[in-house]
């Protein structure tokens, strides 16, 4: 009986060791993050700048020397531009970049024990709002339009502890109706 317990203990230890090693693999597992940065939404011959902010979730796994992952993000922007006197004196026409939803994938390579370089691509859907007000209020209107697009980008992620990381990322989004967006963001996240 004693031999059976010793053999079972050794087998359990041997089987658990690879699982422990996988748990400690850098740049793998579930992650959540917050982001903030510069946002530039543009249409032909015009643009607006603002601050983008949001939260994301993803899951990464190691495949040899590569890191593969899926991710999603919800963000918003302060980007807004207004003009006055477009149709009558004291009227105001404002356009602003609203919420942005993204889902995609990324591929990267660890360039050190705590540094990851990666590229990303996926689907994005952004809302843009146009509001018009005039002194009488009779002709006021608001239009909200959601535009589909693609996003590509790249970045660097740096581990800053056992489960925390910081990142810097550039991304370009191209939407229908000749709308595109450039963003440079910084992020802070945790892996589980």
Q: Is 16 a member of any domain?
A: no
Domain CATH code at residue 77:
2.40.160.20
Q: Is 13 a member of any domain?
A: no
pTM of the model: 0.79
CA-to-CA distance for 39 and 151, rounded, in angstroms? 14
83 vs 14, 50, 91, 94, 95, CA distance in Å?
69, 16, 8, 6, 9
Q: Above 80 in pLDDT, residue 158?
A: yes
Other CB atoms within 10 Å distance of the CB of residue 141 = 10
Which residues constitute the domain of residue 164? 26-191
Q: Is 82 a member of any domain?
A: yes
Q: Is 20 a member of any domain?
A: no
Q: What is the pLDDT of residue 66?
A: 93
163: three-class secondary structure by DSSP: coil
> Domain tally for the chain?
1
For the stretch 114-125, pLDDT in tens is 999 999 999 999
For the stretch 31-41, pLDDT in tens is 999 999 999 99
CA-to-CA distance for 8 and 10, rounded, in angstroms? 5
């Amino acid at each position: 009986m004693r031999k059976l317990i010793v053999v079972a203990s050794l087998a359990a230890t041997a089987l658990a060791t690879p699982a422990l090693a996988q748990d400690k693999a850098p740049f793998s597992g579930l992650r959540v993050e917050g982001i903030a940065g510069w946002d530039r939404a543009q249409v032909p011959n015009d643009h607006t700048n603002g601050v983008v902010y949001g939260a994301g979730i993803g899951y990464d796994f190691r495949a040899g020397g590569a890191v593969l992952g899926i991710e999603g993000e919800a963000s918003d922007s302060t980007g807004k531009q207004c003009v006055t006197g477009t149709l009558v004196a004291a009227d105001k026409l404002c356009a602003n970049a609203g919420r942005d939803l993204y889902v995609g994938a990324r591929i990267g390579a660890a360039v050190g024990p705590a540094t990851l370089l990666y590229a990303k691509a996926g689907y994005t859907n952004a809302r843009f709002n146009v509001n018009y007000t005039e002194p009488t209020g009779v002709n006021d209107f608001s239009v909200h339009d959601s535009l589909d697009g693609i996003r590509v980008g790249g970045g660097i992620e740096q581990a800053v502890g056992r489960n925390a990381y910081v990142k810097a990322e550039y991304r370009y989004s191209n939407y229908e109706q000749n709308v595109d967006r450039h963003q440079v963001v910084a992020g802070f996240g945790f892996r589980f």
